[in-house]
Amino acid sequence: MIEIIPAIDIIGGKCVRLSQGDYNAKKVYNENPLEVARMFEDAGLRRLHLVDLDGAKAKRVINQAVLENIASNTSLVIDFGGGVQSDHDLDIAFNSGAAMVTGGSVAVRNRELFICWIKKYGSEKIILGADCKDRKIAVSGWQESTSADIIPFIGDYGKDGVDKVVCTDIGKDGMLQGPSIGLYKEILNTFPDLYLIASGGVGCLQDILDLENAGVPAVILGKAIYENRVSLKELSSVNSSIGNP
């Protein structure tokens, strides 16, 4: 029953992918993100994970025009992240068409504000970003590591009502060598009611099936699609067979 969520990462208004969060290892896949989003929509996918990489680095939303364009011209349910670190940024994201917002850096730097968002908007609209490298939470577009271990980090926010988490193992991201299934199993064993969205490392359809078999509720993938390692037809087939809404 795994939910498939394609990703579009934005730098300079273009659809790109990084490897292990390295901005110097950027590859542009399409200069028109709306075109990519429509391909996902035409394949029967309903969700989209849209990341403002410029915003993540700048600590404020930069590419809201891309979000607004996709939201206005598709029916995709958009989860937006990158640079959302203030009430103003959150308003920009929601007013530009995001159905949900993922907060990572803000959850580390301003716990009080993030908890306020959870209380105001609910866990259906606010997702915790728990991206890690060697189990330590990383922020600012993965440019900065912290001393926070991923398990206690998730647990602390679980006490405040967070029940949806996007977790990226940065060491796996963009490498197409398989996801961190062991880490995800550990998280789910510790927090069995968590809606865990796995991200990073998916390189083929079998990786998605392995995540499903491990009990992971949802998966984000991007580079595997752009590098033709997984076809939209395959994703549509899996999407239909598992009964995604």
pLDDT in tens, 119-129: 999 999 999 99
Give pLDDT, residue 22.
81
Grade residue 142 by pLDDT with cuts at 50, 70 and 90: low
Rounded CA Rg of the chain? 16
Mean pLDDT score, 14-35: 90
As a whole number of angstroms, the distance between CA 167 and CA 66 comes to 24
What backbone phi and psi angles, to 5 degrees, belong to 119?
A: -70, -35
In the chain the beta strands, taken as DSSP E runs, fall at 3-11, 14-19, 22-30, 47-52, 77-81, 100-103, 126-129, 132-133, 136-139, 144-149, 164-168, 195-199, 218-221
Mean pLDDT score, 160-171: 92
As a whole number of angstroms, the distance between CA 163 and CA 155 comes to 10
The answer to whether residue 244 scores a pLDDT higher than 50 is no
Mean pLDDT score, 194-208: 95
Mean pLDDT score, 101-107: 94
Tokens of 187: 């998280």
Query: 35-39, 154-158, 176-180, 194-198: which range is least confident on average?
Result: 176-180
Residues composing the chain? 245
On whether the pTM is more than 0.95, the answer is no
Grade residue 240 by pLDDT with cuts at 50, 70 and 90: low
Please give the domain boundaries of the chain with CATH numbers for all domains: 3-241 (3.20.20.70)
Percentage of the residues of the chain whose pLDDT score is greater than 70: 94
Asked if 74 contacts 38 with a C-beta cutoff of 8 angstroms, the reply is yes
Give pLDDT, residue 147.
80
Give pLDDT, residue 141.
57
Closest listed residue to residue 223, CA positions, set 172, 152, 150, 185? 172
Residue positions annotated with a catalytic role:
9, 131
Asked if 82 contacts 52 with a C-beta cutoff of 8 angstroms, the reply is yes
What is the CA angle 33-37-41, rounded to 5? 170
